[in-house]
Amino acid sequence: MEDLKITGEVEDIIYRNKDNGYTVFSLTTEDDEVTCVGVVPQIHSGEALEIHGSWAMHPLYGRQVQVQYYEKSMPTTTAGMEKYLSSGMIKGIGAKTAKRIVERFGEATFYVIEEKPDLLTEIKGISYDKAQKISEVFCEQHELRRAMMFLQGYDISPAYAMKIYKKYKARTFEIVKNNPYRLADEVLGIGFKMADKMAAGAGIAADDPNRVKAAVKYVLNTAAANGDCYLPKERLIAQAVDLLQLHPLAIENAIRDLQVNSQLLQEKLNGEDCVYLNYYFYAEMSVAKRLLELSADYDAPNMEYVATEIARVEKETGVVLAEEQRAAVAEALSCGVLIITGGPGTGKTTTINTILRILKKEDMDVVLAAPTGRAAKRMTEATGMEAQTIHRLLGISFIGEDSRRQTFDKNEEDPIEADVIIIDESSMVDIVLMQALLRAVESGSRIIFVGDVDQLPSVGAGNVLKDMIRSERLKVVRLQHVFRQAQESAIIMNAHRINQGEEPVLNEEGTDFFFMRRAYADEVAGTIRELVTKRLPRFTGCDGLQDMQILTPMRKGTLGVQNLNQVLQQTLNPAAPDKREVQFRQITFREGDKVMQIKNNYNIVWRMFNSLGKREDEGLGVYNGDAGIILSIDSHAEQLRVAFDDGKVVDYDFSQLEELELAYAITIHKSQGSEYPVVILPVYSGPPMLMTRNLLYTAVTRAKQLVVLVGLRETISAMICNDREIGRYTGLAQRIRNLYDFMHGGDIV
């Protein structure tokens, strides 16, 4: 789009979102009147604007200007002043009062309001108190205008400028000039790099201690976003030196200062100096301590009773348990903390259902939960009991719009009321969520973690399930026997082959696991498009939009999420006169699109409706990985409505669309905890750190009916050979071991 610069006077405010400053307004130029849209807070009729932006075509409202940034000046003519004052910006000044004020004071009107408000009492209907209020509001508007212009001078977009001003008000100027790095800690969305750019503009020295400390925290936060709970000190210093181009001693000093101020913690782990953000250190300590406290509540199983109960359930269900499943049932009836792990087809669900039947007979109060809405829905279907997300089980409290971390209603003071808590898909639980969950488990309650330890680790920091098992201090039952019925599925058998480092068996007749060789990336994309529109709907009867999911290791490139989503949107949900759409950055969202939430939003309202459209439930929170379909787009109200797979219906303001992505294709990481009838997986070249065995294993185990791999056989082989675990710096296993050994004098469970 061409760069555009136009000047004019604000004619009319058509729509304004007071919270985020998103505004639709008309602008009168020398030649024309144009509609403008963008984050342009606190503008009013009569103001003169210089707008920089581009032309955009709205499907309903036609041609309009998309504002990138703007400059504004106060009206200087008496006509402009009158229009500005009568625009509604100051409560109590209508058209008549505005006319009287301007007629009385002329071009000095704004000076009088700002500097000598007492003179306003000369106007009929304006008392002394009202005059002071008019001046106060006028000055506040002036301050906001100055702050917005000031921040734009640092190349800050209007949307972020509005956030900064709302946080600091009159202190904005002082903070940005003296220590803009505070913004990275205190304003959501302002990271170190944006703050650093502002600091450079403010002339702050490259070796300023605030800059170095902010960089250290940035490196540690980036590591946490990649799954690490800490970094080895040498690695932290090297990354900070690389970022700042300063001497390592400056980084050492910053680490020491941050530790003195209780923001970091240093510790030796396995003989290596390690640096934690306090938050993650205390999360690991808390999880280790609580797991051991709960696991101390252990009664030796009454094997005679267990055998009798298992026999009863086997008779009722007609399913005979394997020996390791019997062991899991016995431990579940005895342990304070139990981990049940196993791959696909090893009977995790059968084991859980047996445990549930026995607990039901004992009149135990059982709660089921999983990390995502999809996983909870699957758990409900598999057990016949209601399961919910862990977040919902804990109940979220949200304090302030810039709060970085959720707080939960359930904790030690108000614990979860249950005799037994069962958590499915436990490999997805990160250290922060595990800490919150265990805080809410009452002493005397039992907790059972179920999951496949060979799946990818959680998106958030930690490798919790694997560390719990690796500690060798908690009760673990491994289910390894693949049942005969599961052996008939090539998906399950090939998943186990991949996990054991063996080549999968491909393209056997009557199978559910196929490979299609394609030599070039464009051919792979073309074949995927053909599969979802023609071949697979004919072959399987599955719907390309509802039942098929493309999983890919990468975000960028021909076979990355971004490109495949554009290709598949055009194929499965093309533009049509009856489908409304909205453009947000590089993405077009259209009614009927498959979308996914890509960040936790603890404050967004959801509702659930019954089949008659009557609301039957509501609450807060949509989470990273939740998927759904766009039901409607209302351009006038600037809202988009999504129906999620777990039944939640959510309305998004257009300003919140950064939280959504198209989801025809998603990364394998985002598919964790989900199952799809058909999975299509491009297997082509990519970075070795992504193309790993457990990534391929996770992708394959997402499919219920059919897996189709498209690309190069050599890539499949290379991924199977690349069995390096995605390394994470975590200390939980060591903490559990150390704490247990301290409590028990070195004995091992």
User: Tell me, what DSSP letter sits at residue 726?
Assistant: -
Q: Give the number of other CB atoms < 10 A from CB of residue 699.
A: 27
Closest alpha carbon to 646 in 680, 678, 619, 614: 619
Q: What is the CA radius of gyration of the chain?
A: 30
Nearest to 49 by CA among 126, 138, 156, 149: 149
Structure tokens that stand for 70 in this block: 């703007």
On whether 343 is known to bind a ligand per the annotation, the reply is no
Q: Contact 211/202 with Cβ under 8 angstroms? A: no
Q: Which long-range contacts (CB under 8 A, 24 or more apart) does 126-132 make?
A: 126/97, 130/92
Triad 275, 281, 284: Cα angle to 5°: 135
Whole-number Å distance between alpha carbons of 64 and 732 = 55
Q: What are phi and psi of 175, to 5 degrees?
A: -65, -45
Pair 98, 46: CB distance under 8 Å: no
Look at residues 68, 7, 63, 69 and name the one whose alpha carbon lies nearest to residue 35.
63
Tell whether residue 348 is among the known ligand binding residues: yes
Question: Residue 228 in 3-state DSSP?
Answer: coil
Of 464, 58, 83, 71, nearest in space to 291 by CA: 464
* Helices of type H across 122-226: 128-152, 158-168, 172-178, 181-186, 192-201, 209-225
479 class by beta-carbon count within 10 Å (0-12 exposed, 13-18 middle, 19+ buried)? buried
| Closest to 559 measured CA to CA, from 698, 676, 716, 665 | 665
347 is annotated as contributing to ligand binding: yes
* Residue among 661, 675, 609 nearest 374 (CA): 675
Annotated binding site: 345-349
Binding-site residues for ATP, please?
A: 345-349
